[in-house]
A = this chain, B = another copy of it.
């Protein structure tokens, strides 16, 4: 069994943004030399998400509006966590979007359907944060 590990670093200038990281994850897979196995890609921070969906800007705006409806950022006083922080909404938003993606690796490629792309979802940016890529297989 082979294993591979890499951290991808991000510093998003805004509080929230969705970033397509598919090509960076594919580059990891090439570097690993693994042909058959499983790839885990997860946010290492609890106010960010890694998820699979469509690379369409209208949809990304829909995600932004929808997450703000389900877990509004403000007023900060609506959350107990915000005694010490102002990012409780980011913890909740990331819960909706998910921490991690597990993808199949087949014949050295991400075994994806036609529209599947991997995204980093930043929900509390303006700082350096990391995503982990771990691949195991042969």
Interface residues of A (CB under 8 A from B): 1, 3, 5, 36-38, 40, 42-46, 51-54, 56-59, 61-63, 66, 70-71, 79-84, 88, 91-92, 95-104, 106, 111-116, 130, 132, 134, 136-138
How many copies of this kind of chain does the complex include? 3
Do A102 and B104 form a contact, CB below 8 Å, given A1-B137, A81-B59, A95-B97? no
Q: Inside 8 A of A114's CB, which chain B residues have their CB?
A: 44
Q: Interface residues of A: mostly helix, strand, loop or mixed?
A: mixed
Q: Inside 8 A of A106's CB, which chain B residues have their CB?
A: 3, 5, 134
Cross-chain contact A45 with B101 (CB below 8 angstroms): no
Q: Inside 8 A of A42's CB, which chain B residues have their CB?
A: 102-104
